[in-house]
Amino acid sequence: MIPVQGYAGHKVAVLGLGRSGLATAAALKAGGAEPVLWDDSPEARAHAEAEGWACTDLGREGAFEGIAALITSPGIPHLYPQPHRIIAKAMAEGIPVDNDIGLFFRSWATHEWDDFETMPRTVCVTGSNGKSTTTALIRHIVEHAGRPVQMGGNIGVGVLALEPARDGEVVVLELSSYQTDLARALTPDIAVFTNLSPDHLDRHSGYGGYFAAKRRLFAEGGPDRAIIGVDEKEGVYLANQMASSREDDRVIRISSEQKLGDFGWSVFARKGFLAEWRKGRQIASIDLREVKGLPGAHNHQNACAAYAAARCLGIAPKVIEEAFHSFAGLPHRSQTVAVRKGVRYVNDSKATNVDSAAKALQAFDNIRWIAGGLGKEGGVSFLKPFLGTVKKAYFIGHSGRDFALELEGLNHEICETMERAVARAAEEAEPGDTVLLAPAAASFDQYKSFEKRGDHFAALVAALPD
């Protein structure tokens, strides 16, 4: 774990006792602080107490006397749509509010680094879609290159559960808007912005607030290198804000839609080929079409981002290309779970919004599409231009019938459950078809998480008769 610096001998409140909350409490204690724990959930409190922690109601009168700071879990609202009552109380009393990301960046560097030959580096990845795949791919490339590496944040382990740095180590962090929005310290060496599409808008009071939360990693983080997807206007704006000139190679623009040859440094993918350009010249190229773990244009953007980060770390293009081919992909993200009777079954349960579902629909042909769940604000009419490869849709969950109405004219069947959707798609599929789970919706109407939904799909596919 990373012992938290700066609070030795002080009481520090911890709100939210999930994975990151308990890791935060342990890291505070390791750094000499006295953690004061609370969670509104009796089950979470019982779990913490079973782990040996005492819980103190932070909502009671006088609870913040002698408290130096409040550390909150990222899922707890601190501003919009309404701040949690305990966070509001802390702010009203002038208690600094932070999260584990802020604690990590104030505690990561230690005096032991003075003896290192090569300083550790942090690579932070944010954006709407592709964060997890990009983060895992960077970690895979660094590991393939034979360098020490750890991965955490919104994927893997909580940041404070990482091990202290080793000489020359790279730490790759996936950071959500919930995490970047509140962290009081953000100092990445390399920051990556993949893309932006509507998500979590209630938590950020709209699209502008959502972008502003992502932008903090760059504007306040001041990375040495900024890798920015420029296929949306927000990325174009961010790259312009970060660069001092067109030739400024501290900013690396990436794209999966357009050629980017007129900048100091750019990486882009077109027609399945990744190209790296520097100062008006192409210096490397990789054929992505046979990279099985990265199918589709959206994964080619992820490849561009990971490639750029690896190049910033001094890794050669040939080594990166080798790593691409050995990357298996992540579960629930364009993951082929089976090929049966010539039919491919793909689990993209992580496609919880229309933008990520659109990318999945563009990655395959002859699609039998399983979609639905707990629909998000704005509906799914955005997907109409991407339905040309869909032979039939099988709608499930709370919003299944709404999806059918919005996508009028699409050949479909209301299946309601995953069991029926998989069975019907398998019955009707022909060799060359792809049965694609890309829900374009949250899972919480029928499942505890998108992972549980994807696991159920994979289990049903595995049980299909040969």
Q: Output the known binding site for ATP.
A: 127-133
Cis? peptide before 81, omega within 30° of 0 = yes
Rg (CA), the chain: 23
Cα(144)–Cα(408) distance, integer angstroms: 48
Binding residues: 127-133
**Is there a contact between 307 and 286 (Cβ–Cβ < 8 Å)?**
yes
Distance CA 409, CA 87 (A): 48
Of 54, 60, 65, give the one whose Cα is nearest residue 85: 60
CB 197 within 8 A of CB 188: no
The contacts of residue 445 (CB under 8 Å, 6+ apart) are: 373, 374, 397, 398, 399
87-96: which pairs have CB atoms within 8 A and are 24 or more residues apart? 87/15, 89/58, 89/59, 89/63, 89/64, 90/13, 90/58, 90/64, 93/64, 95/13, 95/64, 95/67, 95/68, 95/69, 95/70, 96/68, 96/69, 96/70, 96/184
Which run of H or of E encompasses 67?
Answer: strand 67-72
